[in-house]
Amino acid sequence: MDEVHHLLAGNYREQRASMNLLKYLANDLQMSVVLVGTADAVVALQTDAQMSSRFPPTELPRWGESDEFRRFLHAFEGLLPLKKPSLLAQRDKVEFVLAATVGITGAIAQLLTHAAELAIRDGTERVGLTHLEHVALVTA
């Protein structure tokens, strides 16, 4: 579940109801639950001892230039609904994506998704460096 940090936006009663719903999903339905959010998500979960013990925080490190990052880009490319290969793991695209997103996974996903949408709209059906640059300019 994404954006768990928004639990703090509600009043105390709403926060308790949301926490109880998460407990229900994890317990009664026997579902595996992964919670995602900002540092405030950790704060929200720490307001309930059961929740903080069930969901220990794990921070995702920022990406850096590496073979692992290129594999991530290659795998992400496979999820994009494009007809032609974008070769996102090429050096120029890797460098640009890292510079534009400072290695934050969510920002990378957003950049690539919007660039793919642009590539579909312009008919190229592959993400090029110009698509990435355009999206980065628009969202900056």
DSSP assignment of the chain equals ---GGGGGGS-HHHHHHHHHHHHHHHHTT---------HHHHHHHTTSHHHHHHS---PPPPP-SSHHHHHHHHHHHHHS--SS---TTSHHHHHHHHHHHTT-HHHHHHHHHHHHHHHHHTT--S--HHHHHHHHHHH-
Q: What is the pLDDT of residues 6-37, one digit of tens each?
A: 888 889 899 889 888 888 888 888 878 888 88
In this model, does residue 78 exceed pLDDT 70? yes
Model pTM?
0.74
pLDDT score for 139: 76
Q: Where are the domains of the chain?
A: 4-54, 67-139
